[in-house]
Structure 1
Amino acid sequence: MKRIFLLLVIVISQVTFGQTAIDSITMDPQKQLNSAQRLLSGVHGSQVTIGAYGEMLYNQPEGDNGELDVQRLVLLLGYRFNDKTQFFTEIELEHVEEVFVEQAFVNYNVADNVNLRGGLMLVPMGIINEYHEPTTYNGTERPAVDNVIVPTTWREMGVGVSGRLNSLSLGYQAYVFNGFKSTTADGEGGVSGFLKGSNGLRSGRQKSIKSTVDSPTFATKIDYYGIPGLRLGFSTYFGKTQAADDVEEIDGANIGIAMLGFDARYAYQRFTARGQFIHASLSDTEAYNNLTGKDLGSALQGWYIEGGYNLLPRDKEQKLFAFARYEMYDTHADTAGSLAKNEAYDRTDVTTGLSYHIAPGVVVKGDYQFRSNESGGNDGVKNRLNFGIGVWF
């Protein structure tokens, strides 16, 4: 055991000294990189690259006990086999008790503007699903739209292509994935469903844990960066859910999904802004609900707009962003058949607070969230005070 520990220390030391520091807190969306882009960028001096990000949070709902949580710690590992072939992986520990592989893929550089990828990858929908490191966004918690509608962190097994066309100021991604899992046999002659009205598709994420696949799904994203400080994104996702072998032929076992996303990020001097709109149209939900007894809506929709301002001079290494975000998200944007819309699923959050970047890669956050839904009740949507510490290196 001591020998293994000593070897690990030596490897990490060699890797650390061989890496070049990169500013992970730049708010310029045209320069901002996520974890995979950083480790695959080729700026490191070693074949083996290592990094990590993590966040520790305190949430205090109004009238309830507060909660302290090491929400996630993620180890980032990359290896460059040669100038064209690289491997990247994220290994995540959630709440100090669950371990997941968040990404694990091989990247092969075919040409300057073309990369082939295969493995476990993030679905390129919206902003946060690809840029979810805690120093890259304001707010102690990720936006609710990216938690309930997208749903972050959304990753699947697949193959695809990515690259940049700098002459057109465009970045592109296109992948074939397996999809969400919708149903399975319940062991008592019936069928259980994973998808439901309160959080839409979220419970159907397979996370590459012995994933069921019976039909492919398709995801694309185009980013435009031709205007200084501005980045625009358009995402699509089309396909059907996946059902277990013994139920896949039953009417209602699968549903169809057509999801579109628009996002924008902007930075000018000390001002930053971002916004996002996601809409998902689901087909065959009436048959699915009749089969499983669930209350899945036939449309999910959410959006937000956010503005931030750095209160410190631009020439300072530290940054102190005051921000406000307004978001609306509804997992019953529409329903099919006799299912009535549940107004409690039509929610609004207003978040305002501070993000204090005390050093490149270290942020201390605090915010207050005003939360409500159209039903007028406060069950599950109590106002909340949040504090957190985030790191990324």
Structure 2
Amino acid sequence: MLLKKLEKMEQRIQQLESELKQKQDRPVADANAKRTARTASLTSANAAASSTDAKDATAKPEDQKTEAQSSSPSAKPKSKDFMALPPLPTASDKPILGVADSPVPGLSLGAYGEIKFGSVQNPAAGGQWQKGFDAARFVLLPTYAITPNIIFNAEIEFEHAGAGFDNDDKLHGTAEIEQVWIDFKIMDQFNWRSPGVDLVPIGYINQHHEPTQFYSVGRPELYNGLIPSTWKVPSSSVYGTISEDVKYQVMVSTSNEDFGDSFDNRTAAKTVPLPGTPYAAGIDGVNALGFSRPPLGDFQQLNNAVAVSGRLDVTPTFLPGFAASVSAYFSPNTTPRGAHDDLGNFLGKSSLALFDAEFRYRVPDTGLELRGEYVRADFGHPENLRANNDSDPTNNVGKSMYGYSGEIAYHVPLGTVLNSEWEAVPFYRYTYQNLQTAGFAGTDANLPTGQGQRQYHTAGFAVYPSPKLVLKATYQRVIDKSATGALSDSFLGGVGFFF
């Protein structure tokens, strides 16, 4: 009888070992490492060592690798522990939204999004405070490892609660492809990203724009026009690692365009409206480059110019906790076909050069974090920009635009709440922008309003119940040199997630 029990026990052990081996051998590609690499850049929600934070802070989507899901092999059971099984994978190990195994090896699906609410001043209503709500965005992040060295990536975004505007549903939003490309992983020093829709490698938040990456409810002010985040373009690029401390990316893309009007105002010849019909500028002294991004579909581009951009990411090993980047963009011509002033005169070419430098520093062994950034745009022949020839002297553009910001934050551990480690990050950020410098010429009068010269005082706190979730509260004071002042202060709350 005892021998039979021992025999059954041995059979049970063999069965359990066989099941464990099958789980270990089943290849589930961890293509979601792309999203994990971007998450790792979040210094606000990670209390890990500062040197590790600095390395991770510049991790880019191209750092992803396809790996098999693994767990530690179990030793032969002893005594009554022979029934014990290895622990289940944590949520972060799950490739489908962090909660489920992938039904297809190599497939993963992430998501990020943000909800905003609060009270803002409306300049169009004389600065009246108005309460509001915005389901700002929900983004799906599908990734598929075609092979270990060929990786498909995409971002599918729904903004402002939907893709329609009907009386019955009260929606006013968009659905769009924010990114879609295939990476060919050749070697550490050189890799190729196929033609597709990608982000111009300018600035940090432009490429890492998920709401867990910044502390304010809204994106930092430099990324609301001066850098037109999310700056997506038809493009192709190469990238790689120069050394342990330096990574690079070089991109060719469709050029931005000085056309900010609707598709209805493009002609069948892919030109702006004929002379005599006004149209909105894509580059102006109030919105900067916010409306100049090139169209992505149906061969609707209005010029043939090809832009070039590049970026260097630096994480010096001799300075733990520090990460920085420098980047630049150049287009030889932003003028669309048929561009004209309001008098019917055709406009010549105007080039655009943009430069950005930024840093992030989490001081080792403290909760202190510092960030800083400088952005400058220079225009060749600004007299040919539409804003200087549209019969509106209040939005004129000079030879350049620039802005800078400085931010200080402090990470405060809150202890364990609801079975997770919480952290609070109070912060303050100062930003200055000048979008209406001197040196413009055109048919419009030289009457800058001062509206393009703005200061932003942004303060608040972000609470992280998890590195994947953030609760925010922000007060912003806006000052400009116009006669009335900005009249656009705000008290906002927000919820953001990224997993």
Which residues of 2 match residues 152-301 of structure 1 at below 5 A? 152-167=229-244, 169-183=245-259, 184-187=271-274, 189-190=276-277, 192=279, 193-210=281-298, 211-212=300-301, 213-226=303-316, 227-247=319-339, 251-268=346-363, 269-289=366-386, 291-293=389-391, 295-301=396-402
Q: Distance in 2 between matches of 1:122 and 1:19?
A: 19
Instruction: Classify 1:34/1:137 alpha carbon distance in 2 versus 1 (closer, same or farther; 3 Å).
Output: farther
In the other structure, the counterpart of 2:137 is 72
Q: Distance in 2 between matches of 1:110 and 1:17?
A: 18
Which residues of 2 match residues 1-393 of structure 1 at below 5 A? 22=36, 24=40, 25-27=42-44, 28-32=53-57, 36=61, 40-42=64-66, 45=69, 46-62=105-121, 63-96=128-161, 97-118=173-194, 119-167=196-244, 169-183=245-259, 184-187=271-274, 189-190=276-277, 192=279, 193-210=281-298, 211-212=300-301, 213-226=303-316, 227-247=319-339, 251-268=346-363, 269-289=366-386, 291-293=389-391, 295-312=396-413, 317-337=421-441, 339-379=446-486, 381-393=487-499
Q: Distance in 2 between matches of 1:353 and 1:303?
A: 19
CA contact (8 A) 1:36 1:88 kept: no
Q: Distance in 1 between matches of 2:325 and 2:410?
A: 22
Q: How far does residue 170 in structure 1 lie from its aligned partner after superposition? A: 0.4
Deviations 1:207-249 (A, max 9, x none): 513441401111011111112111121111111344554559x
Moved more, 215-224 or 181-190: 181-190
Instruction: Classify 1:293/1:195 alpha carbon distance in 2 versus 1 (closer, same or farther; 3 Å).
Output: farther
Instruction: Classify 1:108/1:282 alpha carbon distance in 2 versus 1 (closer, same or farther; 3 Å).
Output: same
Amino acid at match of 2:240: G
CA contact (8 A) 2:397 2:437 kept: no
CA contact (8 A) 2:58 2:315 kept: no
Deviations 1:322-373 (A, max 9, x none): 1000001121133412533331110000111110001220100001111110
Moved more, 275-284 or 176-185: 176-185
Deviations 1:78-129 (A, max 9, x none): 1111121111110111101211111111111121221111211101111210
Amino acid at match of 1:53: Y
**Alignment length (residue pairs):** 376
Q: How far does residue 298 in structure 1 lie from its aligned partner after superposition? A: 2.5
Moved more, 221-230 or 283-292: 283-292
* Secondary structure in structure 1 of the residue aligned to 2:409: strand
* Secondary structure in structure 1 of the residue aligned to 2:385: helix
Q: Distance in 2 between matches of 1:172 and 1:52?
A: 26
Instruction: Classify 1:265/1:18 alpha carbon distance in 2 versus 1 (closer, same or farther; 3 Å).
Output: closer
Q: Under a length normalisation based on structure 1, what TM-score does the superposition of the two structures give? A: 0.87
Q: Under a length normalisation based on structure 2, what TM-score does the superposition of the two structures give? A: 0.69
Deviations 1:180-214 (A, max 9, x none): 12244224655633322211221111251344140
Q: Distance in 2 between matches of 1:18 and 1:154?
A: 24
Q: Distance in 2 between matches of 1:208 and 1:322?
A: 38
Amino acid at match of 2:430: Y
Deviations 1:278-335 (A, max 9, x none): 0000122213345544623321111100011012269983210010000011211334
Q: Distance in 2 between matches of 1:108 and 1:240?
A: 29
Q: Distance in 1 between matches of 2:433 and 2:454?
A: 5
In the other structure, the counterpart of 1:9 is none
Q: How far does residue 33 in structure 1 lie from its aligned partner after superposition? A: 6.4
* Secondary structure in structure 1 of the residue aligned to 2:383: helix
CA contact (8 A) 1:174 1:218 kept: yes
Amino acid at match of 2:472: K
Q: How far does residue 375 in structure 1 lie from its aligned partner after superposition? A: 2.3
Percent of aligned pairs sharing the same letter? 23
What is the alpha-carbon root mean square deviation over aligned residues?
2.7
Q: Distance in 2 between matches of 1:18 and 1:110?
A: 16
* Secondary structure in structure 2 of the residue aligned to 1:139: coil
CA contact (8 A) 1:155 1:207 kept: no
Greater share of residues in strand: 1
Q: How far does residue 383 in structure 1 lie from its aligned partner after superposition? A: 1.8
Instruction: Classify 1:59/1:255 alpha carbon distance in 2 versus 1 (closer, same or farther; 3 Å).
Output: farther
In the other structure, the counterpart of 2:14 is none
Moved more, 370-379 or 180-189: 180-189
Moved more, 316-325 or 228-237: 316-325
CA contact (8 A) 1:251 1:288 kept: no
Q: Distance in 1 between matches of 2:326 and 2:143?
A: 28
Q: Distance in 2 between matches of 1:52 and 1:44?
A: 22
* Secondary structure in structure 2 of the residue aligned to 1:317: strand
User: For structure 2, which runs of at least 5 residues remain unmatched after alignment?
Assistant: 1-26, 45-52, 70-104, 122-127, 162-172, 260-270
Q: Distance in 1 between matches of 2:156 and 2:475?
A: 30
Q: Distance in 2 between matches of 1:154 and 1:314?
A: 38
Q: Distance in 2 between matches of 1:352 and 1:43?
A: 41
Q: Quick check: which has more Rg, 1 or 2?
A: 2
CA contact (8 A) 2:351 2:380 kept: yes
CA contact (8 A) 1:103 1:155 kept: yes
User: For structure 1, which runs of at least 5 residues remain unmatched after alignment?
Assistant: 1-13
Q: Distance in 2 between matches of 1:53 and 1:37?
A: 19
CA contact (8 A) 1:177 1:217 kept: yes
Q: Distance in 2 between matches of 1:122 and 1:259?
A: 15
In the other structure, the counterpart of 1:8 is none
* Secondary structure in structure 1 of the residue aligned to 2:204: coil
